Structure 1
Amino acid sequence: MLFPCLKNTFLLLVLMFSSCGKAKKSTIDTQESLKIKVAQVIDTPIVVAANKTATYLPLLKGKKIAVVANQTSVIFTKKTPTHLVDSLLSLGISIKHVFAPEHGFRGDVDAGEHVKNGIDQKSGLPLISLYGKNRKPTKEQLAGIDLVLFDIQDVGVRFYTYIATLQLVMEVCAENAIPVVVLDRPNPNAHYVDGPTMEAEHTGFLGMTKIPLVYGMTIGEYAKMINEEGWLEDGKKANLTVIPIDHYTHDSFYSLPIRPSPNLPNDLAIKLYPSLGLLEGTNINAGRGTEFQFQRLGAPFLDKNNYTFTYTPVPNFGSQSPKHNGKLCYGLDLTKEDTSALNAVDLKWIIDAYNSTKDKSLFFITSGFTKHAGTEKLQMQIEAGMTAEEISKTWKPDLEKFKMIRSKYLIYK
């Protein structure tokens, strides 16, 4: 089944209790009722907003639209997923052009590599890059556009740049009185809020607002927060419509059927990304240049007595120039980590790697690490020898403040 379904262990408990000894008729009736209700929940698939065409097509008909999309922007069918753009064109919707985020429209561009303007070979539509020098659509690029449709799968980590693209698109639409429609998708890391909060002096494309590293919201919920908290330039508000997901909660299990970017190939990588993504601001390789991106880490300078696992990064689909290209790296294999236990930003791997580095000057790429962490404090705390538990305690006051704000914009519980 292409639709990821909800998992609910309560059904197992019901089945266990119903098979244990004799019970009164009323109890049996209650158990049977519970079994039916739970079975209905399990059999009800999560429906992403893109699949709800009857809901949003009336908003698009008769309008000239621009679409912000990538390879994840699909409508799921029983056979083969259909790209949103192809579906809309077949339904007679007038799409003038497509805006492409980091990694490009088809998701085949390396992280940090400029995305080029061009023509999509399949649809024939003009592609306008929103990654590189032009990260915010210009007024000229929106000339004649009646509505912007945004549909990109997010993973709920602040430095994952799709939410920055969302904010800049909303900003220019607010400036030019162009409505924005966001088609919501589940966030596989929506079940928790954690990590350091972005400080105002370090905001940028890896974090445009003062939110935690993991913010526990879908991209639609976050769009509402951006709009209502006055985070758009000059406090303007966009004419925003969020099309919600059906049969979804923040605790729903959701396995992404399409990798959201070249270096997030599976569920484990996505779950480890909030923790291992911080290594992007260090000289530690986080699996780029292998088939296990964000599921391993290593460097030639790590102590081989402490790190017995080895691998050699080489150019591949996800990275043409990985850190320590062609060099033997000593590190850790995390492919056996339990995804169900990954519900916090875990600093143990980065702290252990730092402590195992003899020449500490080799470890941090200071500006890069600060941009990813959103604060200079985290590097200072690690260098000062603080434990992961001690550091995470310092995040709590800001996290509690954010959770209060976040609660106002949640569509799903």
Structure 2
Amino acid sequence: MTVLSFFKSTVFLFVFVLAACGQKHTSNSSHPLANSKKETGKVMVAANRTDAYLSLLKDKNVGVVANQTSVIFRIPNAKFQDSTTYTHLVDSLLSLDVSIEKVFAPEHGFRGQADAGEKVKDGMDTRTGLPIISLYGKNRKPSQEQLKDLDVVLFDIQDVGVRFYTYIATLQLVMEACAEKGIPVVVLDRPNPNGHYVDGPTMEEEHTGFLGMNCIPLVYGMTIGEYATMVNGEGWLENGLKADLTVISLENWTHETEYSLPIRPSPNLPNDTAINLYPSLGLFEGTNINAGRGTEFQFQRYGASFLDSTKYDFSYVPRPNFGSKFPKEEGKVCHGKDLSQHPRMNEVSVRWVIDAHQNALDKSKVFNTDNFTRHAGTAKLQQQIEAGLSEAEIKASWQKDLERFKKIREKYLIYD
């Protein structure tokens, strides 16, 4: 950093400190680049803990893996945030003269606008002029050429703790590429809104892929930072590699802390209810049944035109919208259930998939078998549902694998 740059940064922070001191509520008016004071009961995401990681970036060429959730909050823990209450991590670091060379973008893109499964193109960020390299297009793992000239890679993406949510796959592939190149990885941790339980079918080795790279349960009960340490510790990187990994931890968070995500982690997870129901209703992604895409209640309802209308008193019509350009059952009256008022869950439930299968006028229309297996992580779940097993019987079949995983998980937990 030059003397002039240091002087500019010092004046920049000094002005904000003076402004903050003149306010009654300093925790709400302080500049997000200044490390927030620790307050009892206030969750602090790792990105806000700049004093814990800026030294790791100083005088380095930095690559950042980020999306719209990669922010530093001006007002931590506010339930509904807008762009005046946070700054993007990339913008913040640039203002502190951190030398960011490029940004890597996951599924949904750097600004979080792309549909699920839609390829994301390389490009340039119009706000900063930085090159954007897609990790959800022609390649999902950074190439050695793309990592050339980088000294460190910073990873900061909000996860929701569900195996088929692809950000943990991106994390693993980034760690692997960096390990191959000898580049350190720094993960800025964020709360897992589904981190209060472990449940669901466990991925089977023969079905691993981008929707589940390791043999873990559907809901694994770990933050993305904890999961990164598990990937490293369990030897899940190719060729026995270990990443040079640093996890910057959260403050004032436990696995029992209810945390409301202030920014949509992806276009079709608009609120707490959708995020909490996603582990269960996300299984409909492997079926021909609509799970609310094409409405404003994504993952808070389900239905299809081929479900028996006499069994339901709720219906809706999916239309293309911000979150889904081509929703299932587009333009059709879907009969099903509204779950938008459902209380917070601490389990994966298959009762809604069972219900839809039982009430389908043509049961052959329900499952998209290959896709359902990739989401479930096993072919057994579809077979169990088609055989008429109850939810209790199905969940009992998960328990041995869940207990085995929980013992492994304990080794990597950072938080109570």
Query: TM-score w.r.t. structure 2 length?
Result: 0.89
CA distance in 1, matches of 2:321, 2:393: 38
- Alpha carbons 2:40, 2:252 under 8 Å: kept: no
CA distance in 1, matches of 2:70, 2:123: 19
Which of the residues 117, 124, 129 maps onto 2:129? 124
- CA offsets per residue over residues 217-247 of structure 1, 9 Å max, x none? 0000000000010000011000000000001
> What residue in structure 2 maps to residue 166 of structure 1?
171
> What residue in structure 1 maps to residue 404 of structure 2?
401
- CA offsets per residue over residues 58-98 of structure 1, 9 Å max, x none? 00000001000000000000352010000000000000100
Q: Does 1:65 align with 2:62?
A: yes
Shift of 1:132: 2.1
Shift of 1:253: 1.0
Residues 172-187 of structure 1: matches in 2 within 5 Å? 172-187=177-192
Shift of 1:288: 0.1
Shift of 1:116: 0.7
Which of the residues 267, 272, 285 maps onto 2:290? 285
Q: Percent identity of the aligned residues? A: 68
> What residue in structure 1 maps to residue 73 of structure 2?
76
- CA offsets per residue over residues 111-140 of structure 1, 9 Å max, x none? 000001100011110000000221000000
Q: Does 1:229 align with 2:226?
A: no
Q: Which region of structure 1 is more displaced relative to structure 2, 310-319 or 73-82?
A: 73-82
> What residue in structure 2 maps to residue 297 of structure 1?
302
> What residue in structure 1 maps to residue 253 of structure 2?
248
Which of the residues 370, 376, 392 maps onto 1:373? 376
Shift of 1:42: 8.6
> What residue in structure 2 maps to residue 46 of structure 1?
43
> What residue in structure 2 maps to residue 355 of structure 1?
358
Shift of 1:308: 1.8
> What residue in structure 2 maps to residue 322 of structure 1?
327
Shift of 1:170: 0.2
Which of the residues 92, 97, 106 maps onto 1:92? 97
Letter of the 1:399 counterpart: L
- CA offsets per residue over residues 157-211 of structure 1, 9 Å max, x none? 0000000000000000111100000000000000000000000000000000000
CA distance in 2, matches of 1:191, 1:250: 5
> What residue in structure 1 maps to residue 415 of structure 2?
412
- SS for the counterpart of 1:346 is coil
Q: Does 1:271 align with 2:276?
A: yes
Letter of the 1:334 counterpart: L
Query: TM-score w.r.t. structure 1 length?
Result: 0.89
How many residue pairs get aligned? The number is: 374
Q: Does 1:202 align with 2:199?
A: no
> What residue in structure 1 maps to residue 151 of structure 2?
146
CA distance in 2, matches of 1:44, 1:348: 36
Letter of the 1:74 counterpart: V
Gaps of 5+ in 2: 1-24, 29-37, 76-83
Shift of 1:43: 4.7
Distance 1:42 1:48, change over 3 A: closer
